[in-house]
Structure 1
Amino acid sequence: MFDRRSSLGILALAAALSVAPAFAASLQPFGTANFEAARGKGAVIALIDASWCPTCRAQKPIVTKLLADPKFAKVAAFAIDYDSEKPTLKALNAPDRSTILVFKGGKEVGRSVGDTREETIAALLEKAL
């Protein structure tokens, strides 16, 4: 049974969801189902990340900063763990850490390996738009 308090809570949640973007423009933890669903619908960025990799540690804040730009609001962005997602990396033909993959309309439209320059990473991410 709904009381006034639960009804207000449901209305607040519905209002929040109605103004939320389709995807949060920040790096999300990888999940195969979520990644494939997002890739099939639109713009997706995948960062192949390893916590012990110095290049990955340099890329991650750059990618995160760029994704904060409102133009990437509808881009789904995933951090794929290099050490635990080997089958996914093989399926994506991405055997190296510090790889950034960009998909648009379900197809790969760009990739970069080992790049830590903000301007070239920005140009790569814009291919998703």
Structure 2
Amino acid sequence: MNRLTHLPRFVTALACLLAPLAAQALEIQPYSADALAAAQSAGKPVAVHFHAPWCPTCRAQAKVFDGLKPDASLPLPLLVADYDSERALRQKLGVRTQSTLIVWRGAKETARLAGETDADRLRAALRSAVSPAQ
């Protein structure tokens, strides 16, 4: 038996070991009031990105967020809210412009950015809810 015969089992085992790490990375999903409420009531980190499909800044932010998906230091959901249709949510949260990112740890807001496309600043905002120092 050569070494390659064990390769499929090794790859499967490695995938099983790495799967929990992937689950701990940034998870981008559509906004839902239930998802936001559940994370906040459990004291977990959560973020909402107010996105408009017509907004070039929002599209640039979305590319940055996509690039941050595998970042294991960002174990939180990023809920994408449609800026145009979520008027009540915008009013409740005091959002005045598309491309706004709001980050919480539980019910405590830890960061708010509008119009920011710098990857390091967006990552830092998201980490603000994960870091115990915040």
Q: Give the TM-score normalised by structure 2.
A: 0.74
- In structure 2, the CA distance between the partners of 1:98 and 1:23, relative to structure 1 (3 Å rule), is same
Residues 1:80 and 2:81 are matched in the alignment: yes
**Stretches of structure 1 lacking an aligned partner (at least 5 in a row):** 1-18
Q: How many angstroms apart in 2 are the aligned matches of 1:31 and 1:20?
A: 24
Residues 1:113 and 2:131 are matched in the alignment: no
8 A Cα contact 2:22 2:72, kept in partner = no
Letter in 1 for 2:73: K
Give the greater-gyration-radius structure (CA): 2
Q: How many angstroms apart in 1 are the aligned matches of 2:99 and 2:63?
A: 12
Q: Secondary structure at the match of 1:128?
A: coil
8 A Cα contact 1:26 1:64, kept in partner = no
**Stretches of structure 2 lacking an aligned partner (at least 5 in a row):** 1-19
Partner of 2:38: 37
- Count, aligned residues: 110
Partner of 1:61: 63
Partner of 1:49: 51
- In structure 2, the CA distance between the partners of 1:23 and 1:104, relative to structure 1 (3 Å rule), is same
Identity of aligned residues (%): 33
Deviation track 1:46-75 (CA, whole Å, cap 9, x = no partner) reads 1110001000000011122223211223x1
Moved over 4 A (4+): 19-24
Q: Secondary structure at the match of 2:101?
A: strand
Partner of 1:27: 28
